[in-house]
Amino acid sequence: MKKFNLILAVLVAAAFGMTSCIEPVAPTINVDSEITIDLSDLTTTALSGTIACTDGLSKVVFTSNYVDGNWAEITVNEFSTGNYVFALTGEELSAREGLTSIVITATSLESLTATATVIVNIETSALEPAAFTWQRIGANAGTGLAEFGLRWESNVKEIHAIIQTLEGTVLYELDPTTWTSVVTEADKVAAIAAGTVITDYRGISAEVNKDYDVVIATIVGTEYHLIHITRCDNVEENNNWTRTITGEAK
């Protein structure tokens, strides 16, 4: 019996010894090592990943090599049971001109750290113009404008189309040469910021068929639209007018 008790005591002591020898675990960072940001689409997720640690996380730090006081370092301290899921859009990353890498550092509750580096490639692909058609039949509201944050519901006496904004839209008038000078998304954002804010646009005849070289723009939330109006056709049939404005947008 004494021998059995001795063996039991040895086993218990060994178990405690094994427990005390368990080493803390460093965090695990799962993320792509390289990403590409397409400036033609900034709203989608560009960088995403997960960080986990069985011992729990105490801090996660994102550091970029772009130091202007805006995004040199972002520290996160809110986690769900030691796990962190992150997602950054192209807009959050591409606005930092010169950004080439991001270092992610995760620290566990046991003060162990792990790091991962993400190389960022920013593509300045040329914008592709897309044709648009705005049409107003009789007294009906115009169609085709909503995607630009605009509406066309009336004309003035002269007779000119009144192009107005929907709620949440900012409308700009720009120099016609802007259309050809804007090549990339960055060009577009800069050009619109330099434009003149207007409440509505009334420069298109709703009576005379005519070619135009008019450039206006809208900002709707995070979307920027550069609009080149090139033609308006007005057709009267049985005392009912069909007015059609056409052009391209970037």
Amino acid identity of residue 24, one-letter, is P
Q: Return the DSSP state at 239.
A: T
Question: Are residue 114 and residue 156 in the same domain, yes or no?
Answer: no
Q: Who has greater pLDDT, 93 or 199?
A: 199
Tell me the mean pLDDT in the region 114-122: 90
Is residue 247 pLDDT above 80, yes or no? yes
Question: Are residue 182 and residue 217 in the same domain, yes or no?
Answer: yes
Range of the domain at 214: 130-249
Question: Are residue 35 and residue 116 in the same domain, yes or no?
Answer: yes
Is residue 9 pLDDT above 50, yes or no? no
Question: Are residue 116 and residue 146 in the same domain, yes or no?
Answer: no
Q: What is the total count of domains within the chain? A: 2
What pLDDT is attached to residue 109?
Answer: 93
Reference 227, options 129, 160, 143; nearest CA is 129
Residue 187 lies in a domain: yes
**Cα–Cα distance for residue pair 120/117, rounded to 1 Å:** 10
Residue 13 lies in a domain: no
Residue 206 lies in a domain: yes
Tell me the mean pLDDT in the region 104-132: 91
User: 32-41 burial, b if ≥16 CB within 10 A, otherwise e?
Assistant: eeebebbbbe
Task: Supply the DSSP string of 83-150, one letter for each residue.
Answer: EEEEEEEHHHHHTSTT--EEEEEEEETTS-EEEEEEEEEEE-PPP--EEEEEEEETTSPPBS-GGGTE
Q: How many CB atoms lie within 10 A of CB 219?
A: 19
Q: Who has greater pLDDT, 222 or 150?
A: 150
For residue range 160-215, list pLDDT tens digits in order: 999 999 999 999 999 999 999 999 888 899 999 999 999 999 999 999 999 999 99
Question: Are residue 117 and residue 155 in the same domain, yes or no?
Answer: no
CA angle 213, 191, 130 (to 5 degrees): 55
Residue 147 lies in a domain: yes
What pLDDT is attached to residue 38?
Answer: 75
Is residue 127 pLDDT above 70, yes or no? yes
What pLDDT is attached to residue 186?
Answer: 80
Question: Are residue 59 and residue 138 in the same domain, yes or no?
Answer: no
Q: CATH no. for residue 95?
A: 2.60.40.10
CB-based contact 136:233 (threshold 8 Å): no
Question: Are residue 145 and residue 172 in the same domain, yes or no?
Answer: yes
**Cα–Cα distance for residue pair 47/74, rounded to 1 Å:** 14
Last residue of a domain, one of 123, 145, 177: 123
Question: Are residue 134 and residue 245 in the same domain, yes or no?
Answer: yes
Question: Of 22-26, 102-106, 210-214, which has the strongest mean pLDDT?
Answer: 210-214
**Cα–Cα distance for residue pair 201/182, rounded to 1 Å:** 21
Strand-pairing partners, residue 103, are: 63, 117
**Burial of 78: CB neighbours in 10 Å, binned 0-12, 13-18, 19+:** exposed
Residue 37 lies in a domain: yes
Question: Are residue 191 and residue 81 in the same domain, yes or no?
Answer: no
For residue range 32-66, list pLDDT tens digits in order: 999 888 766 777 888 899 999 999 999 999 988 76
Question: Are residue 76 and residue 157 in the same domain, yes or no?
Answer: no
What pLDDT is attached to residue 164?
Answer: 98
Phi and psi dihedrals of 123, rounded to 5?
-95, 130
| pTM for the model | 0.58
Radius of gyration from C-alpha coordinates of the chain: 30
Residue 1 lies in a domain: no
Question: Are residue 143 and residue 208 in the same domain, yes or no?
Answer: yes
Residue 7 lies in a domain: no
Question: Are residue 177 and residue 159 in the same domain, yes or no?
Answer: yes
Is residue 113 pLDDT above 50, yes or no? yes
Question: What is the percentage of the chain residues whose pLDDT exceeds 90?
Answer: 62
For residue range 229-239, list pLDDT tens digits in order: 999 999 999 88
**Cα–Cα distance for residue pair 191/26, rounded to 1 Å:** 48
Residue 40 lies in a domain: yes
